[in-house]
Structure 1
Amino acid sequence: MGKPVSITISHDLGRVGALDRLRSGLDRIRDKLGMVRMQLVEERWDGDNLHFGVGALGQTVHGRIEVEDSLVRVEVTLPWMLAVFAEKLKIGVQKQGQILLEKPKA
């Protein structure tokens, strides 16, 4: 059994604004994953939810991003072999998510 990881990122963009940011930011996310020898192997939108898979160290991590009016919820289950990276993953996703969902400064 894997280790479930749940990350919540609040935002002030509204659901549509957050969806736009996430969709337009996927290319940057792909580039960042490539720099750390990871790759996006699955990407499927289902309404306001993105189902994804990320390949790393010969493993694939599957997860889901759920976009709501004032928050984005990221849920992944790490294979036991990658569970030691859970806290680093949470910190990295939280930081990058906040950058991506930050409201532009006036």
Structure 2
Amino acid sequence: MSIPNDKNDFEIKAESQVLGKKIGIDSLSIVRILTPEPEPTVETNTSTYASDNSDTSAGGEVIITKYGEKYHNHVHGNMKHIEYVSLSYAKQHYEPCKICY
């Protein structure tokens, strides 16, 4: 039995038969409760930058990307949806970028 994605209430009925004669009917009602995926804990900025030389190390800030695992001291490559965070925060939650450091 497949369950449609757009339906959350189901009823299943089962009949018992002996020699072609009904001897019992059971039913089960099911309510599916969907739990939403948690949002990432780091808010992101959807700004993009044309320059690959934006250096943020002077102010004690570094760059993180929306789904990245590393922090950067300058914009490089195809970095979209970046956010500036403090270096101390980044060191606690991310690894350093091998290109930047």
Same fold (TM over 0.5): no
Greater RCO, 1 or 2 (C-alpha within 8 Å, sep 6+): 1
TM-score of the aligned structures, taking structure 1 as reference length: 0.22
TM-score of the aligned structures, taking structure 2 as reference length: 0.22
Q: Which has the larger radius of gyration?
A: 2
Structure having the larger proportion of residues in helix: 1
Structure having the larger proportion of residues in strand: 1
